[in-house]
Amino acid sequence: MRLSQKQKELIEKIGIYFEQGMQPAAARILALLIVSDKDSFSFDEIREILTLSKSATSNGLSFLSSVNKIEYYTKPGDRKRYFKWSPSNTINHFKEGIEKILGLSNLFDEAIKLKKDKDSFNSQQLVDLSDLMSFLHKEMPIIYNKWESQRTQH
Amino acid sequence: MRLSQKQKELIEKIGIYFEQGMQPAAARILALLIVSDKDSFSFDEIREILTLSKSATSNGLSFLSSVNKIEYYTKPGDRKRYFKWSPSNTINHFKEGIEKILGLSNLFDEAIKLKKDKDSFNSQQLVDLSDLMSFLHKEMPIIYNKWESQRTQH
DNA sequence: CTTTTGGTTCTGCAACTATAGAACCAAAAG
DNA sequence: CTTTTGGTTCTATAGTTGCAGAACCAAAAG
């Protein structure tokens, strides 16, 4: 199994996107599973393709499993585990990422409560920002529905 | 200038939200400027309230300035600079955060192009994910408008 | 010119992170 | 029971990060 130059570059680029939130090795493993033509890879394939040590590979895979970004299956009569990207969970994670916005908006609301002068410029802006965030949060399900329906149409 | 216990706690909590993307000291400075009743703080006030060293304060402030999260003004006959949160930019940054999604979606599109079997489960899921992301991206201006109009109503 | 003020830059270090390599281990194969 | 396989866990370490403290500097004050 060899990767094209373009695929290698893409793994690095996508890896960088993922690196905020996980170690470089894990980010690259995930990018590999997403980019590559093959749907699943064994431990040693990943290790060789990305030239990682066994420990880095093992740690990366167990991290990615623990946050449900990948899953693995086994073949009968084969002790190896085959790891694959878990796209449905990725869509959920994407949604959860948006959800996190709400957490910050709640903290902002707390901050507003503590403000003595609720009419100060800062207070007003904070109210606005929190409002935008929770508005957005409320709108998300609508957007997801809209997307679902327009997607199933064609 | 003293902060209440609640305000201190909130600064830490909001700080943690900001820490992905900047150093702890900078994150706390920003949280202070957002949470506090006073709209602006001098270098030494920040330093004292957060018990930071001069260098940490200076680096934090210059980082926050460089990414336009804060601004400062001066008073005539006073050499000090007074730093304040820049909320309008914060709303823009919030929008830019959403924009970043598009970047990943473009990388996903590149990955799809390189896929030999475009009908594989992985490919399909990747198409879906990228599609959701760019759909969301396209919908954002609409949401912002919706928010603007409902906000000016009351 | 000298001193003070407000802040920046430099130096060193403690703590943390990510990885390699080795030791290790359980299950399967022989 | 012994060996092999597929991986995990432990140990050591290079590299990075974030900060303190000191040295430094330019502008203003005296």
Residues 56-115 on A with a CB inside 8 Å of B are: 84-85, 87-88, 90-91, 94, 103-104, 107-108, 110-111, 114-115
**Co-location of B80 and B102 in the same domain:** no
> Cβ B143–A120 below 8 Å, yes or no?
no
User: Of A45, A63, A85, which residue sits at a domain end?
Assistant: A85
pLDDT higher than threshold 70 for residue A49: yes
Q: HSE on the CB side for B145, CA within 13 Å?
A: 5
Token representation of residue B126: 């990747």
**Co-location of B79 and B94 in the same domain:** no
> What tens digit of pLDDT does each residue of A53-112 get?
999 999 999 999 999 999 999 998 899 999 999 988 888 888 888 888 889 999 999 999
d(CA B31, CA B11): 5
pLDDT tens, residue order, chain B (154 aa): 678 999 999 999 999 999 988 999 999 999 999 999 998 999 999 999 999 999 999 999 999 999 999 999 999 889 999 999 998 888 888 888 888 888 999 999 999 999 999 999 899 999 999 999 999 999 999 999 999 998 877 6
pLDDT at B93 (0 to 100): 85
**Co-location of B39 and B98 in the same domain:** no
**Co-location of A79 and A27 in the same domain:** yes
Tell me the Cα Rg of chain A.
21
Q: How many CB atoms lie within 10 A of CB B9?
A: 13
Tell me the Cα Rg of chain B.
21
Containing structural domain, residue A117: 88-153
pLDDT at A123 (0 to 100): 94
- List the single protein residue with the shortest CA to C1' distance from C7: B58
Q: Name the DSSP class of A21.
A: T
Q: Does the CB of A154 sit below 7 A from strand C?
A: no
**Co-location of B110 and B43 in the same domain:** no
Q: How many CB atoms lie within 10 A of CB A5?
A: 7
User: Of A85, A119, A140, which residue sits at a domain end?
Assistant: A85
**Co-location of B74 and B99 in the same domain:** no
- From B150, which residue of chain A is nearest by alpha-carbon distance? A135
Task: Outline where DSSP puts E strands in chain A.
Answer: 41-42, 70-74, 81-85
Total number of domains in chain B:
2
Tell me the CATH number at B58.
1.10.10.10
The C1' atom of D13 and the CA atom of A33 lie apart, in whole Å, by 30
**Co-location of B74 and B110 in the same domain:** no
Place of tokens 């901050």: A111
User: Of B61, B85, B109, which residue sits at a domain end?
Assistant: B85
